[in-house]
Amino acid sequence: MGLALQKEEFNNSAINLSKRRLGRTNLMVSPVCFGSLRLTPQNGIYKETLFKALESGIHFIDTSGTYGNGASEIVIGEAIREYLHEFPQDKDELVLCTKMGVIQGATLQEMNKRVNTGNKTPGFYKITDRVSYCLTPEFIESQLSMSLRRLQVNKVNIVLLQNPEYLLKTLGSKDTFLKYLKAAFEHLEVEVAKGRIDHYGISSSAFLKKEIAQDHLSIKEIYELAESISENHHFSVAQVPFNLFETSPLFLKNQNDKTFFEAAKEYDLGLLTCRPLTSHHRDKVHHFITFPGKDEVSVKGKLHKTLMEVIEMEKDLFIKLPHHKELKWGHLLRSNLHKISDWWKWNLYLQKQILPSLQNCIDQLPPVPEWNHWKINYVNNVHTLFSLITDSLQGIANLRTNQICHYLNEHCDILEGESKLSNKVTRLYLSVAEIDSIVMGLSNPQHIEDLLEMGNIPDSEQTLKIFKSIKMRF
């Protein structure tokens, strides 16, 4: 891969990747953290992206055992092993953070099997059909052991308990919840003593809820819980969402008359922020991303033409094989295309629902030459259709992106030369002194290139004015 040459080139980049102190952990971390939610063995480009991130000085990695049923940690372990073979001198620079508590996917299926056979797991609580939760010492110990094996390391620097408010809401009792949390903290202190972790913390949006909310989490209450275990405790990190439209950690005084950032820094906690490029605002999902420009008229024309071709193929199928009417994506999309307005929701639906169903239905068709030819043409056409729908939705998203870019340029001169909205907002985030590192889902090598080309960080006062005013505009 020519890693050495690439690394030298990246170290001359414009972005200031000077490391920041992660609160009372005293770990020095890059201001951008590699978020690995979609890092899987099937997506080879993600591994390439992780390599590029490591080479460019982004040595802080955030993951979870639930990401891809542990696949994210497996890919990270493989990538780190290969990277350190090339650059062994960087071993002490790497900082690994994983999460636990939430149970999904294969782990949930296994635990449900135990419950169904009468082997109930104490402290195991169902949240929804797809999510359960557990904070018992036994569960934490087993999950940590699996994470260490997948990551191919003897220790992770940070373990975050993910969304413990799920348990709080399910229990309906703050006292009972705090007993579970204390038991979890006590075990995590044992893991520190064993040398399997350095620090622990919590990742949760419940820190940002109003104090009257049932699932509100208090930094003071949780920190004092850790102090009750030991004066030398290792509760040291908190992670919350923060972005252009979700700025409550900076302004909402919901922590004993302090903002979340103020309260966390009072205890010298390391502060991580997540969801920097996706915001939930006014019942809509907003994405701070600039997509490649496409000819909107051309896209719509090709979309209509391809849609009609798919529909005609389906009609032919229904006539000749009337028992195979499941392959009707053209018909369904023609009826529902006007309801699809968000490319992100469309992409999730495409990946999780449409493509698996499509493959299953294709496999059910007769394995004869006539239908083999039909399969190839149909699959090619529907994939073209899906791509055109994505292009159309991204074009719509760019209209909002351009409006936000224009607003930021008007209110912050230093951002005018920045072409991509993702870089504009990242520069704003980097100017917030309280934030130690931003967890970003870097899913493509180009995302690293974009970061490396970013300009200077704006003045913090200018940034605060933008954060205060922009939600009123959009």
> How high is the pLDDT of residue 43?
66
Whole-angstrom distance, CA of residue 360 vs CA of residue 354: 10
- On average, the pLDDT of the chain sits at 90
> How high is the pLDDT of residue 16?
57
Least confident of 193-207, 259-273, 300-314, 350-364: 350-364
Residue range 440-460: average pLDDT? 88
Of 339, 341, 345, 349, which Cα lies nearest the Cα of 396?
Answer: 341
Least confident of 206-215, 255-264, 327-336, 337-346: 337-346
pLDDT band at 291 (very low <50, low <70, confident <90, very high): confident
Radius of gyration of the chain (CA): 24
Per-residue pLDDT tens for 8-32?
443 434 455 789 999 999 999 999 9
Residue range 220-237: average pLDDT? 98
pLDDT band at 112 (very low <50, low <70, confident <90, very high): confident
Q: Is the pLDDT assigned to residue 292 strictly greater than 90?
A: no
Q: Is the pLDDT assigned to residue 4 strictly greater than 50?
A: no
Per-residue pLDDT tens for 399-439?
989 999 999 999 999 999 888 999 999 999 999 999 999 99
Residue range 25-45: average pLDDT? 86
Q: Is the pLDDT assigned to residue 3 strictly greater than 80?
A: no
Residue 237, class by beta-carbon neighbours within 10 Å (0-12 exposed, 13-18 middle, 19+ buried)? buried
DSSP string, 373-439: HHHHHHHHHHHHHHHHHHHHHHHHHHHHHHHHHHHHHHH-GGGTT---HHHHHHHHHHT-TT--EEE
Residue 54, class by beta-carbon neighbours within 10 Å (0-12 exposed, 13-18 middle, 19+ buried)? buried
Residue range 383-403: average pLDDT? 93
Residue range 378-388: average pLDDT? 96
Token digits for 330? Answer: 């053209």
| Strand intervals (E) in 144-234 | 156-162, 197-203
